Amino acid sequence: MLKNMQESSKEWNISFAGCGFLMAYYCGVYSCLFERAPFLLKGVKKICGASSGALMGAILACQMSPAKSCENLLEMSREARKGTLGAVHPSFDLLKIVRNFLNHDLPEDAHLLASGRLFVSLTRVSDGTNVLVSEFDSKEDLIQALICSCFYPLYCGVIPPRYHGIRYVDGALSDNMPFSGLRNTITISPFSGESDISPYGSPFYFHDIYYNNVSIHINFINAHRVVIAFFPPDPEVLAEMCQNGYKDAFLFLKENGE
């Protein structure tokens, strides 16, 4: 598959599912692809994502440092773990922290690097329709689209943010893996399931469901991962998740002839 991609003129895409603090898995995947398959990152036509998947998509589109991305995520998790209520404490503003990191670390030409290449999944509040945004007027315009895609109702606040005058919430609520149905899309998810790069699933799963285009095995491990998505564990657990992402991406490359 990958050799065919490398030699073919056909286009391919990458799609990241929204997953909250499980984004640590993506940091590992990105590190592996960055080191071992740079042609894949440079040649990808569409980089798609919802919520934290959109954040990783922006990081990939701008070719940011994998190590820095992991460092930022660990810092966010440390902030979320402070206090008795952690991430759900009223004083904890996750999106403010995300915005600060994006303002500080995204290059000034991020909107140029992302336009036409990064597809951010949004859910329009007025009718629940999915909207994919792929053209950005400025760095701040790109950041605002990402913030809207990450806004999970109640968890992130009560009043949804606006993008170009329209209120949106988390893109995962309407399409959690854009373009996943296309044969030339590499799908990536931290939940065990049928995605191209995902954790090895336990043979003892009860059922397989599709949550807004993301394949997820119904088992106890994935149930625990859902909790981690909202309530980050110790940094050591996130670091292990990052390592697992690297290993799974490496296995994908190996199985596909890279």
Reading the block at residue 107, the tokens are 């290059």
Reading the block at residue 216, the tokens are 């997820």
Reading the block at residue 69, the tokens are 């991305």
Question: What mean pLDDT comes out for the span 239-253?
Answer: 96
Confidence tier at 138 by pLDDT (50, 70, 90): very high
Strand partners, 162: 167
* Residue the block writes with tokens 């991020």: 110
List C-alpha distances in Å: 60 to 27, 150, 160, 205, 239. Answer: 10, 17, 26, 32, 19
In contact, 37 and 30? CB cutoff 8 Å: no
Question: What mean pLDDT comes out for the span 71-79?
Answer: 88
The CA distance from 239 to 145, in Å, is 28
Compute CA 52 distance to the chain's CA centroid, rounded to the nearest angstrom.
4
Confidence tier at 33 by pLDDT (50, 70, 90): very high
Q: Going along 52-184, which residue ranges are E strands? A: 118-124, 130-133, 162-163, 166-170
The CA distance from 140 to 134, in Å, is 14
In contact, 36 and 107? CB cutoff 8 Å: no
Is the pLDDT confidence value at 160 over 50? yes
**Which of the residue ranges 79-88, 94-103, 122-131, 207-216 has the most confident prediction, judged by mean pLDDT?**
122-131
φ/ψ of residue 245, rounded to 5: -60, -40
* Residue the block writes with tokens 């740079």: 38
Confidence tier at 61 by pLDDT (50, 70, 90): very high
Reading the block at residue 121, the tokens are 């999944």
**Which of the residue ranges 1-15, 45-59, 180-194, 208-222 has the most confident prediction, judged by mean pLDDT?**
45-59
φ/ψ of residue 122, rounded to 5: -125, 155
Compute CA 232 distance to the chain's CA centroid, rounded to the nearest angstrom.
15
Whether 15 sits among the annotated catalytic residues: the reply is: no
- Kindly report the length of the chain: 258
**pLDDT for 81:** 79
Q: Per the residue annotation, which of 141, 170, 175, 196 is the catalytic one?
A: 170
User: How many Cβ atoms sit within 10 Å of the Cβ of residue 187?
Assistant: 24
**pLDDT for 117:** 97
Strand partners, 163: 166
Q: Per the residue annotation, which of 15, 31, 51, 195 is the catalytic one?
A: 51
Is the pLDDT confidence value at 31 over 80? yes
Whether 248 sits among the annotated catalytic residues: the reply is: no
Q: Which region among 46-50, 91-95, 175-179 has the lowest average model confidence (pLDDT)?
A: 91-95
